[in-house]
Structure 1
Amino acid sequence: MPTSEPIRYFNRAKQVVETEQVYGEKWLRWTYENAVGQFSLWALVKRAWVSRYYGWKMSNSASMRKVLPFVIDYNLNEDEFAKKPISFKNFNEFFFRALKPGARPIAPGERVAALPADGRHLAFQDVEAADSFYAKGQTFSLEKFLGSEALAKEFAGGSLLISRLCPVDYHRFHFPVAGIAGEPRLINGALFSVSPIALRRNLGYLWENKRMVTIVESPVFGKVAVCEIGATMVGTIFQSFIPGRAVAKGEEKGFFKFGGSCVVTIFEKGRIKLDADLVSQSANGLEVYAKMGERLGEAV
């Protein structure tokens, strides 16, 4: 897939293919598609202080002036917000905003798993049989991503969901299944972009970036790995749940601060049948735009 192509995805609700309106597209393309820009990855983007500085800037009270223009420019549905746009003290507070109760209905059924976040989703029934997610010749490494040879063996041949969040999305992430949630494990790393513009160049950014891995023991789905990935301008992954206790499907797990980011969900082999529309569109190289709480698949 040529790197200069626009980013297209399948909108599940509308049943049409759309072109993504990319926040900061010119800067992303210069950084990841231009030889000079790629040099800046090592000089600036990879280093956490850049994202920390931008995070501080977005937490400054002056950043509240960006909220209303952002809502208008990206046509966000403010009726879903738990607070009015003018009530946020800074842009970061708006960015990880909560929604009104019921704004994201959770797919019913004990044996049904739900999408963990709003975003553009890639789904693969067998992670080991999948390749060319964003470009030919690139495959997902379970061992590198999970940072554990033992865990990689447990999830070998399992099912994979990559949920990519853009800056315009609701940035809280939730549990896709009910169960007992373990302690999140931090794996430190860089803060590259997780936009397809970057991942077409190097899928490895998914396991080179800072990430957190939480194992959920589900009585229905078995062991499920729910993982969050930091990215450029996303230095903070905040976990809001209490480890070691039972969690409900759709319950909030945490949130990202400013920037695009990613949630990866991995099931053990033979424990879930992912929904056909997610799998078929992914096989055709299209992410599926859908919201948190919608169906992901059903236990086998």
Structure 2
Amino acid sequence: MDIKFINRSTNTIEIERPPGEELLNFLYSNPFGEKLILPVAKQKFISEWYGKKMDSPGSKKRIEPFVKSLHIDMTEAQKDITEFTSFNDFFYRKLKAGVRTIETGIVSPGDGKILVFENVAEVNTFFVKGKKFTLKEFLQDDALAAQHANSALVILRLAPNDYHRYHFPYEGIASEPKKVDGLYYSVSPIALNKKFTEVFCENKKEICKLKTADKGEILIIPVGATMVGSLNNTFEPDSLIKKGEEMGYFAFGGSTVVLLFNSDAFKLDSDLIENTKNKLETFVKMGEKIGTAIGS
């Protein structure tokens, strides 16, 4: 299947080829793979085992072929390709200072492909192949779901070749993340097309509340995925956070960051809204504006 997205910097349509595309198609589209192999593949112990394998010194040999096959720009990284101690050390690499600009308004928390919805209720009309998506299932918190029943929703999907650290989209006081245990579904577009509700409602996630001075509460929700051993926080909870400050990182695998915020506080950028309505993700980078603060 051709997975098309908009490259925002060039405003052109490009095609994504996920690593392991054939396996993902088998797991999520083939009845045998879905019923017999997928239940094992998404178990925590499989992800933990593979995570440890990617932490081993022997995994370094995987770095150069991975970089070449996915055309990763290593000039942005702090370390030279020869300096990484394992594949995971490379995977959650840090960037050089200044290679990402923190723009005005609310910004993307990371590099990846984004979908935006002015009201979370719109998700059900977008992912027509999945069963009904509800905030109550996703957040596993009735009060929080009611509070954000009409919030704007942003879904940022990180592909394996993307920079895998995520950052705060706005300034405020960040809470201690609340862990929500789950399985490890893939967040590749193949999985999303087939299993959207399961991917978002059943995957392992953490919910962080960012209390802003003038724009209400923003929920920042990193979501784990197949072959991601853990979500790793790098910030100090209950302290003042600057926009663009690092929040954490994912170990090996594709991952997602979800944002929920008051739609009266920020106006999502029109190009992102239009692309989403056309069923196309948009590639953005960390710090890039995705919405304008209303009344500022």
TM range (shorter): over 0.9
Q: Give 2:66's aligned amino acid.
A: F
Task: Compute the RMSD of aligned alpha carbons.
Answer: 1.3
| CA distances 1:8-49 after superposition (whole Å, capped 9, x unpaired) | 111101111111021111111111011111023554112111
Once residues 193 and 132 of structure 1 are traced to their aligned partners in structure 2, the CA distance between those partners, rounded to angstroms, is 22
TM-score (norm 2): 0.96
Alignment of 1:140-289 (within 5 A): 140-204=133-197, 205-289=199-283
Q: Give 1:159's aligned amino acid.
A: A
3-state SS in 1 of match to 2:196: coil
Displacement of 1:136: 4.2
Displacement of 1:219: 1.3
Q: Give 2:204's aligned amino acid.
A: K
**Any conservation in 2 of the 1:132–1:139 contact (CA below 8 Å)?**
no
Alignment of 1:9-158 (within 5 A): 9-108=5-104, 112-136=105-129, 138-158=131-151
Displacement of 1:270: 1.7
**Any conservation in 1 of the 2:181–2:205 contact (CA below 8 Å)?**
yes
3-state SS in 2 of match to 1:120: strand
Displacement of 1:147: 1.3
Once residues 46 and 59 of structure 1 are traced to their aligned partners in structure 2, the CA distance between those partners, rounded to angstroms, is 20
Q: What 5-or-longer segments of structure 1 have no aligned partner?
A: none
Displacement of 1:177: 0.5
| CA distances 1:154-205 after superposition (whole Å, capped 9, x unpaired) | 1111100000001100000000000000010000001011112112112112
Once residues 31 and 136 of structure 1 are traced to their aligned partners in structure 2, the CA distance between those partners, rounded to angstroms, is 17
Once residues 62 and 153 of structure 2 are traced to their aligned partners in structure 1, the CA distance between those partners, rounded to angstroms, is 36
Q: Which stretch shows the higher mean deviation, 5-14 or 255-264? A: 5-14
User: What's the % identity of the aligned pairs?
Assistant: 39
**Any conservation in 2 of the 1:51–1:232 contact (CA below 8 Å)?**
yes
3-state SS in 1 of match to 2:75: helix
Structure with the largest fraction of helix: 2
**Any conservation in 1 of the 2:130–2:195 contact (CA below 8 Å)?**
no
Once residues 36 and 203 of structure 2 are traced to their aligned partners in structure 1, the CA distance between those partners, rounded to angstroms, is 17
CA 152–254 in structure 1, closer or farther in 2 if over 3 Å, else same: same
Once residues 42 and 284 of structure 1 are traced to their aligned partners in structure 2, the CA distance between those partners, rounded to angstroms, is 30
CA 42–70 in structure 1, closer or farther in 2 if over 3 Å, else same: closer
Q: What 5-or-longer segments of structure 2 have no aligned partner?
A: none
Displacement of 1:235: 2.2
3-state SS in 2 of match to 1:207: helix
Tell me which residue corresponds to 1:298. Answer: 292
CA 65–124 in structure 1, closer or farther in 2 if over 3 Å, else same: same
Once residues 122 and 39 of structure 2 are traced to their aligned partners in structure 1, the CA distance between those partners, rounded to angstroms, is 36
CA 137–28 in structure 1, closer or farther in 2 if over 3 Å, else same: closer
Displacement of 1:272: 1.2
Q: Give 1:243's aligned amino acid.
A: P
Q: Which stretch shows the higher mean deviation, 55-64 or 199-208? A: 199-208
Q: Give 2:78's aligned amino acid.
A: A
Q: Give 1:88's aligned amino acid.
A: F
**Any conservation in 2 of the 1:9–1:19 contact (CA below 8 Å)?**
yes
Q: Which stretch shows the higher mean deviation, 97-106 or 126-135? A: 126-135
Once residues 143 and 211 of structure 1 are traced to their aligned partners in structure 2, the CA distance between those partners, rounded to angstroms, is 14
Q: Which stretch shows the higher mean deviation, 171-180 or 51-60? A: 51-60
TM-score (norm 1): 0.95
CA 203–99 in structure 1, closer or farther in 2 if over 3 Å, else same: same
